[in-house]
Amino acid sequence: MQLLFATSNINKVKEIQSLLPEGFSLLGLNDIGYNGDIPETADTIEGNSLLKAQFIAENFNRICFSEDTGLEVVALNGRPGVRTARYAGEQACNQDNISLVLKEMNTITERKARFKTVISFFDGKVFKQFEGVCNGCIATEAIGIDGFGYDPIFIPDGEVRTFAEMTLTEKNKFSHRKKAFNQFLEYLKDNK
Ligand code: IMP
């Protein structure tokens, strides 16, 4: 089965590719020649995830899935949340976002946080959603060079290392994205 993943983020494509069982293949938006932006104007992670799948389904008439991920920090009342990609501003890069979170958490000892991924799937008729959560905490400094996004400041529960200090296989043991994707795969297998 060939799945179209409504993202241009090569890191996300790489992660999902590492989770594909035999018999599945994956295309990203680059593979179908689309390099534009997809609107992310909803005020929830679930809403943005849905918008991406809807956009591709409506504009390309293709069965696809999408995902939206947010980092929710307890002491910041759930921020960055739906603003995770643009936390330090519309043009912010990963480093800007990480710096802002670390600055806001500077004097805070309660460092619990979680990543939440919501996958949306359009099967040609209805939309389905699958959620995966990874609980952990925010490190006191950015450590590690692997992964992407906020990985250098996120330590999953049961570990002392950040995601950015782990191989992809190690990150997958905890990953929010893997948990959501596994549910999606179960759905696909049950509804073949
Ligand atoms: P979006 O889901 O593409 O909108 O990404 C939201 C933000 O979360 C971006 O800043 C990503 O870099 C970041 N992000 C998404 N997934 C992960 C992850 O697995 N680890 C660290 N950061 C992530």
Question: What is the C-alpha to C-alpha distance for residues 40 and 44, in angstroms, rounded to an integer?
Answer: 10
**What are the beta bridge partners of residue 65?**
5, 121
pLDDT given for residue 154 in this prediction? 98
Residue nearest to ligand 1 atom 3, measured at CA: 68
pLDDT given for residue 17 in this prediction? 94
**Mean pLDDT across 114-142:** 95
Centre of ligand 1 from the C-alpha of residue 127, in Å: 22
C-alpha 166: how far from its chain's center? Answer: 17
pLDDT given for residue 61 in this prediction? 85
**Is the pLDDT score of 109 beyond 80?**
yes
**Mean pLDDT across 65-82:** 97
Q: Which atom of ligand 1 is nearest to the CA of 84?
A: 7
**Mean pLDDT across 89-118:** 97
- The mean pLDDT value of the chain amounts to 95
**Is the pLDDT score of 119 beyond 90?**
yes
Count: domains in the chain: 1
- pLDDT tens profile 19-32: 999 999 999 999 99
pLDDT given for residue 132 in this prediction? 98
Give one DSSP letter per residue of 85-152, joined into a string: GGTT-TT--HHHHHHHHHHHTTT----EEEEEEEEEEE-SS-EEEEEEEEEEEE-SS---SSSSTTGG
pLDDT given for residue 19 in this prediction? 94
Centre of ligand 1 from the C-alpha of residue 107, in Å: 25
Most ligand 1 atoms within 8 A of CB, residue of 5, 90, 150 to mutate? 150
Give one DSSP letter per residue of 43-88, joined into a string: SSHHHHHHHHHHHHHHHH---EEEEEEEEEEGGGTT-BGGGGGGTT
Q: Which atom of ligand 1 is nearest to the CA of 87?
A: 10
Centre of ligand 1 from the C-alpha of residue 75, in Å: 19
- pLDDT tens profile 165-184: 999 999 999 999 999 999 99
pLDDT given for residue 43 in this prediction? 96
CATH number of the domain enclosing 45:
3.90.950.10
pLDDT given for residue 66 in this prediction? 96
What is the CB < 6 Å shell around ligand 1? 9, 40, 68-69, 84-85, 94, 97, 115, 147-151, 163, 177
- pLDDT tens profile 30-57: 999 998 889 899 999 999 999 999 999 8
Centre of ligand 1 from the C-alpha of residue 105, in Å: 19
Q: Evaluate the omega torsion of the peptide bond into residue 80 and state whether it is cis, within 30 degrees of 0.
A: yes
CA-wise closest residue to 84 among 131, 120, 48:
48
**Is the pLDDT score of 192 beyond 80?**
no
In which domain, by residue range, is 163 found? 2-190
Residue nearest to ligand 1 atom 6, measured at CA: 85
Active site residues per annotation: 68
Residue nearest to ligand 1 atom 23, measured at CA: 149
**Is the pLDDT score of 13 beyond 90?**
yes
pTM of the model: 0.95
Centre of ligand 1 from the C-alpha of residue 148, in Å: 7
Q: Is 75 in contact with 108 (CB distance < 8 Å)?
A: yes
